[in-house]
Amino acid sequence: MRLIHSVTELRAALAGEAKTAFVPTMGNLHAGHIALVEQARAVGRPVVASIFVNPLQFGAGEDFQRYPRTLEADCERLEAAGCDIVFAPDANEMYPEPQTFHVQPPLADELCGAFRPGHFSGVATVVLKLFNMVRPATAIFGKKDYQQLFILKGLARQFNLPIRILEAETTRAADGLALSSRNGYLSAAEREEAPRLIRLLREAAARVAAGERDFTDIERAAGVELAAHGWRVDYFSARDQATLLPPTPESHELVILAAAHLGGTRLIDNIEVCVN
Ligand code: PAF
């Protein structure tokens, strides 16, 4: 496995490759990322993983400074998983000019975007740059970041990028908690409490699957339950999978998404549910 820091070296290493499979990450890798690398190996070679903590997608007061940088351990895990190239640029390599273009995606102010202004613009901008640097045939993103995946599929489609976007199921701990680099911020007591988020999403999905259509009531009940256990809820919201907008009477494929803070840690998760 090669560790590459510069775009020039990356371009040379990937010259002539037509089946590159790409897994963009911010590092501090866990089993969920490794599952993405394994999926990448099944669809193309070489497998490239990027590691870049993107300042553009963090807001003021968010965890950019304390986001764990664990390059050496990440490289060991990636090598063991069969990754061929790790691309780990620094901020000057990624943003060499003081004034940067920003991609402004639709839906960037909805759901997480309503609470993290600029976040999805930062994500879309860095991913477009990474796509242009790596020029992959396929890129793989996890469904835990559902809105991110939705926006990046739109990015590839609307900018006519010749890249197939694959989605990967969320990897979970035995108690259901979605794996996330941010889980490392949780205290032991918070870690015990954290699976409540997916439990409530599953309960809400069961109510919807059973035919309930009063989404406001379902969302409010989950919010009350989370607040009663010390969470600060950003949103708990049923949406149409195709639009990520509130469901209409014609919506059949729904997704319920949630974001809430447990102590100083913001957790997100979601569950898909189909209705007749
Ligand atoms: O999901 C992430 O880790 C990041 O948002 C991504 C896609 C690597 C862009 O920085």
Each residue's pLDDT tens digit, 11-55: 999 999 999 999 999 999 999 999 999 999 999 999 999 999 999
Measured from the CB, is residue 94 less than 6 Å from ligand 1? no
CA distances from residue 146 to 81, 111, 122, 149 in whole angstroms, order as listed: 24, 10, 16, 5
Of 5, 33, 102, 261, which residue is the catalytic one? 33
CB-ligand 1 contact for 193 (6 Å cutoff): no
User: What is the residue range of 223's domain?
Assistant: 181-270
Q: What is the mean pLDDT of the chain?
A: 98
Mean pLDDT for the stretch of residues 163-177: 98
Q: Last residue of some domain: 124, 146, 168?
A: 168
- Pick the residue whose CA is nearest to atom 8 on ligand 1: 25
pTM comes to 0.98
Amino acid identity of residue 111, one-letter, is L
127 lines ligand 1 (CB under 6 A): yes
Please check whether residues 162 and 222 belong to one and the same domain. Answer: no
Among 168, 197, 214, give the residue marking a domain's end.
168
**CATH number reported for the structural domain that contains residue 229 in this entry:** 3.30.1300.10
Per the annotation, the verdict on 33 as an active-site residue is yes
pLDDT tens, 95-146? 999 999 999 999 999 999 999 999 999 999 999 999 999 999 999 999 999 9
Within a domain: 70: yes
Angstrom distance (rounded) from CA 84 to CA 43: 14
| Residue minimizing CA distance to atom 3 of ligand 1 | 25
Residue 174 lies in a domain: no
Same domain membership, residue 101 and residue 34: yes
Are 148 and 190 part of one and the same domain? no
- Note whether residue 48 is domain-resident: yes
176 belongs to a structural domain: no
Indicate the residue type of 50. S
- pLDDT above 90 for 276: no
Total domains present in the chain: 2
pLDDT given at position 174: 98
Residue 42 CA, chain-centre distance (Å), reads 21
26 C-alpha to ligand 1 centroid (Å):
6
Q: Quick one: 125 and 217 in the same domain?
A: no
Whether residue 108 is found in the same domain as residue 157: yes
d(CA 225, CA 231): 9
In a domain, 8, yes or no: yes
Question: 25: Cβ below 6 Å to ligand 1?
Answer: yes
* Residue at token pair 């740059």: 129
Beta strand segments in the chain, E = 2-4, 21-25, 47-51, 85-87, 138-142, 164-168, 231-240, 253-262, 265-274
